[in-house]
Amino acid sequence: MNASPAGALAGTVALVTGASSGIGAATARRLASEGATVALIARRRDRLRCLAEGITRQDGRARVVEADITDPEQAYQAVQETREAFGRLDILVNNAGVMLLGTALHTTTQEWDRMVSLNVSALLHVTHAAVPHLIDAAATSPRQVADIVNVSSTAGRVARPSSSVYNLTKFGLNGFTEALRQELLIERVRVSVVEPGTLQTELVHHLGDATRTLQQVSGIEPLQAAGIADAIGYIVTRERRVAVNEMLVRAGDQTW
Q: Which of 9, 166, 168, 213 is catalytic?
A: 166
In the Cβ-directed half-sphere of 111, how many Cα atoms lie within 13 Å?
19
CA distance linking residue 70 with residue 123, whole number of Å: 8
- CB under 8 Å to 7, separation ≥6 — which residues? 34, 35
Q: Is 158 helix (H, G, I), strand (E, B) or coil?
A: coil
Q: Is 105 helix (H, G, I), strand (E, B) or coil?
A: coil
Where helices occur in the chain by DSSP H, the ranges are 22-33, 45-57, 72-86, 109-116, 122-140, 164-184, 211-217, 225-236
CA distance linking residue 62 with residue 28, whole number of Å: 8
CA distance linking residue 230 with residue 14, whole number of Å: 15
Q: Which amino acid makes up residue 67? A: A
Rg of the chain over CA atoms, in angstroms?
Answer: 17
Q: Are 96 and 201 in contact (CB under 8 A)?
A: no
Sign of CA dihedral 225, 231, 234, 235: negative
Sign of CA dihedral 148, 151, 157, 159: negative
Residue 234 a catalytic site member: no
Question: Active-site residue numbers?
Answer: 166
